[in-house]
């Protein structure tokens, strides 16, 4: 479904991504784990067109995403929940959700998706008239995920959804990701919380300073000695 081939990304003269390849198949949860600064965010931003790669390809169902302007990518069924949530603080919860459906036309269908999102995140419905900037961190994360779901994505990219949340909320966020995947959406999950990410993923890639150093089934990575040492704190 999504295939990244030999991706190389530079910030000025500094190479942040040094030839990364991986693929995500329909229905999977793929985890991309790695320490702070490894290049996880850069990879996601390159996929959704916010950064242009120097080399390499991002193929989505065979279409080269590099050839599309960034704002056209979401309507192809690819949603991105950015690091740090990035909700629109001056807009209400409801308006933020509408922004997620910006490229969709049919009002009835949008309303239907909205009801689905409210069912998944009852807190958002309770706070629909509240400015997003006044929400708690956990609520903002729910809003960022709900906003992405408003585009009815086939695949959803999530950048550190558990960052800065309390353990209970982390648990909740991972449960939600699992259930989003169960209802048919493919997930590419970027996390520093390797333990939790591996526990819900099918497969995973380990990123170190711009290179993929390990890949495999999530279970086998969980039992890998070097992964245990470096990422699972065992």
Partner 1 sequence: MLAGVDMSFITYLLNGISLGSVYSIIALGYTMVYGIAKMLNFAHGDVIMVGGYIIFTIMSTLGLNPILGVLIAIILCTLLGMTIERIAYKPLRRAPSLAVLITAIGVSYLLQNLALLIFGAEAKSFTSVIPVKPLSLAGGRLSISGETLVTIPLCILIMTSLTIFIKKSKIGRGMVAVSEDKDAAVLMGINVNKTIAITFAIGSALAAVASALMFSTYTNLSSTSGAMPGIKAFVAAVFGGIGSIPGAMIGGILLGVIEILSRAYISTQLADAIVFLILIIVLLVKPTGILGKKIQEKV
Q: Comparing C-alpha atoms, which of 172, 101, 102, 112 is closest to residue 136?
A: 172
**Binding to ligand ADP by residue 54, rule CB under 6 A?**
no
Q: What share of the chain is helix, strand, coil (3-state, %, to 5)?
A: 40, 25, 30
172 binds, among partner 1, ligand ADP, Mg ion, none (CB under 5 to 8 A by kind): none
* CA angle (3 as vertex; 144, 37 as ends), nearest 5: 55
Q: Which is nearer to partner 1, 103 or 166 (CB)?
A: 103
Minimum distance, C-beta of residue 16 to ligand ADP, in the bound complex (Å): 4
Q: Which is nearer to ligand ADP, 150 or 206 (CB)?
A: 206
Minimum distance, C-beta of residue 12 to ligand ADP, in the bound complex (Å): 7
201 binds, among ligand ADP, partner 1, Mg ion, none (CB under 5 to 8 A by kind): none
> Which residues in 16-55 are b (16+ Cβ under 10 Å) and which e?
bbeebebebeeebbbbbbbeeebbbbbbbbbbbbebebee
**Among 37, 122, 133, 164, which residue sits at the site for ligand ADP (rule: CB under 6 A)?**
37
**Residue with the shortest CB distance to Mg ion:** 41
**Binding to ligand ADP by residue 41, rule CB under 6 A?**
yes
Strand partners, 63: 60
Rounded CA-CA distance 45/53 in Å is: 10
> What sign results for the dihedral spanned by CA atoms 85, 86, 92, 96?
negative
**Binding to ligand ADP by residue 4, rule CB under 6 A?**
no
193 binds, among partner 1, ligand ADP, Mg ion, none (CB under 5 to 8 A by kind): none
Beta strand 29-33 pairing with 203-208: parallel
Q: Which is nearer to ligand ADP, 46 or 96 (CB)?
A: 46
User: Where on the chain is the footprint of partner 1 (CB under 8 A)?
Assistant: 45, 48-50, 69-75, 79-80, 82, 86-91, 95, 98-100, 102-103, 147, 151
Tokens of 30: 């793929």
């Amino acid at each position: 479904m999504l295939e990244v081939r030999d991706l190389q990304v530079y910030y000025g003269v500094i190479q942040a991504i040094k030839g990364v390849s991986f693929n995500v198949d329909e229905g999977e949860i793929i985890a991309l784990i790695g320490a702070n600064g490894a290049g996880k965010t850069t990879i996601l931003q390159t996929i959704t067109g916010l950064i242009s790669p120097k080399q390499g390809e991002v193929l989505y169902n065979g279409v080269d995403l590099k050839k599309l302007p960034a704002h056209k990518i979401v309507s192809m069924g690819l949603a991105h929940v950015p690091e740090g949530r990035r909700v629109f603080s001056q807009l209400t919860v409801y308006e933020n959700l509408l922004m997620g459906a910006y490229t969709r036309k049919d009002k009835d269908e949008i309303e239907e998706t909205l009801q689905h999102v409210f069912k998944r995140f009852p807190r958002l419905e309770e706070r629909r008239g509240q400015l997003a900037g006044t929400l708690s961190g956990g609520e903002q994360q729910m809003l960022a995920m709900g906003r992405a779901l408003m585009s009815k994505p086939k695949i959803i990219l999530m950048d550190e959804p558990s960052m800065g949340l309390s353990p209970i909320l982390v648990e909740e966020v991972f449960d939600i990701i699992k259930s989003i995947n169960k209802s048919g959406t493919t997930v590419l999950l970027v996390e520093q919380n390797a333990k939790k990410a591996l526990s819900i993923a099918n497969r995973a890639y380990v990123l170190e300073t711009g290179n993929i150093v390990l890949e495999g089934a999530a279970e086998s990575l969980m039992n890998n000695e070097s992964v245990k040492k470096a990422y699972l704190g065992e």
